[in-house]
Amino acid sequence: MTLRLLLAFSTLILAATVDAQCRFDPLDRGRVVKISGAQLPAASAMELSALSVMRVERGRFVPVAYQFDEMDQKGMVWFEDSGFALAGSPGQLDADDQLLMMLTDAGPHAPEGLEPEQGEVISELTVADSCHFYLVRGNNERSGNYYVAHDVDSGETRTALYRLDVDPDNELNWHYLGYRGYQGEGSIIDTLKMRMSAGVLSRFTRMTLDNHNLRPKRVGFSVGPIRSVMHLRTRVVLAGIPVMTIQVQAMRYASHYEAHTYAKIPDLYRATLKEPEVSVTVDGNNQSGAAVYTANFVDNPVIVDGKADDQAFADQTMTMDANWILFDSKRDFALLTHLTVPDELMETPLALIYQDDASLAVEPEQFPGQWPNLGYSLHGWPQPEELRFTVSLYFEDGLEGFAADEFARQRSAVVPVQINQ
């Protein structure tokens, strides 16, 4: 086991107890602070290598784990082989670049007159009302803490909270998900499922692609202290017609997983392909007794029992404004899913996918049945020529005493940051 892997197991627990002056809610564990370069005008165009993040601890500035990611012109993390142009100048802080830290690494306010032993403070970043980070230029100290240990060649990811094993040749095929303290046996999930279907020339000549056909190829990756990012590309071909190229960035964090999807849709294929659908679901592994909530079923969740008798729940209306799905295993593991799209795609028709059927086979799968299979289906072509969406999967012990809707709101909320230059 490498040093970084050991740190990934220990750091998340220690960070919340470093300084008693900062107080965090139960759902703050694992939350990420994300700041754009545009929010840091005092550091604009500075060399990224000269910038770092620190906090105050025991009367001095100490380094904390942080990560700068340079972004491309499509709003994704930039990789040279992605085919997307870098937004800004390489190696410098630009407006679209992202700075990431762990919320629980924040510390108290710096006493009047306190300065780093080396370098200078550029900006003070206030989070959680009274906790602070400091963006510093010219300090060589760096934290050795890593919150994510991801081996892209083996497909194994370990953090303090979960272990995820995927097929290294196909990111869609999840083999194992385990969570610290989970009271069940084996993998919590069967696999991740992505499907794309459309009628070719007619809605009656329908074809469907799944994990086996949509084999994404890795074109770039980075593993940082806060998140790992893999850029994947898959070419969609239906009935011999090359429809589009889908670009996906899979991101692993200390306590959640994100899949950012981008595709450009040529006008020709809008006319050729009828009633297209794109779906992303997570198939549970024998999660009998679990409760599943949505915005429409906050107080009366459906209970997983392997029987296809939950049609009212499966047929509920879902919108982009309230699309969260909360799965509580009742065995010290909860999964919150949330779909986000840009403002121009908010009217895209969206449907819930919910299948609770012990005898239903939906390939690919390792274990028989859908126990349950839950997620989203986007219907039709959006009006813009570009399709963008992000599916986020948040892992937790349970609802921590919150009502389902409040849990969903707090867990998926963006961490507010006040920035003093």
Provide the pLDDT for residue 21: 73
Among 64, 223, 68, residue whose Cα is nearest residue 142: 64
C-alpha 404/C-alpha 383 separation (Å) is 33
C-alpha 106/C-alpha 102 separation (Å) is 8
Q: What one-character-per-residue DSSP string does 253-321 give?
A: -SSEEEEEEEEE--HHHHHHEEEEEEEEEEEESS-TT-EEEETT-SSS-EE--S-S--HHHHT-B-BTT
C-alpha 327/C-alpha 301 separation (Å) is 9
Secondary structure of residue 3 in the 3-state scheme: helix
Q: What end-to-end distance do the CA atoms of the chain give, in Å?
A: 41
C-alpha 32/C-alpha 27 separation (Å) is 11
DSSP letter, residue 412: H
User: How would you write the pLDDT of the chain (421 residues) with one tens digit per residue?
Assistant: 454 544 544 555 544 444 557 889 889 999 999 999 999 999 999 999 999 999 999 999 999 999 999 999 999 999 999 999 999 999 999 999 999 999 999 999 999 999 999 999 999 999 988 899 999 999 999 999 999 999 999 999 999 999 999 999 999 999 999 999 999 999 999 999 999 988 887 766 788 899 999 989 999 999 999 999 999 999 888 777 778 899 999 999 999 999 999 999 888 778 788 889 999 999 999 999 999 999 999 999 999 999 999 999 999 999 999 999 999 999 999 999 999 999 999 999 999 999 999 999 999 999 999 999 999 999 988 888 899 999 999 999 999 999 999 999 999 999 999 999 8
Around 391, how many Cα atoms within 13 Å sit in the side-chain half-sphere?
22
Cis status of the peptide bond prior to 301, with omega within 30 of 0: no
- Which pLDDT tens digit goes with each residue over 340-357? 999 999 999 999 999 999
What percent of the chain lies above the pLDDT cut of 90? 82
C-alpha 134/C-alpha 73 separation (Å) is 28
Secondary structure of residue 342 in the 3-state scheme: coil
C-alpha 136/C-alpha 378 separation (Å) is 43
- Which pLDDT tens digit goes with each residue over 46-59? 999 999 999 999 99
Residue 102: CB atoms within 10 A of its CB come to 28
The residues that bridge with 278 in the sheet, in sequence order, are: 196, 378
DSSP letter, residue 16: T
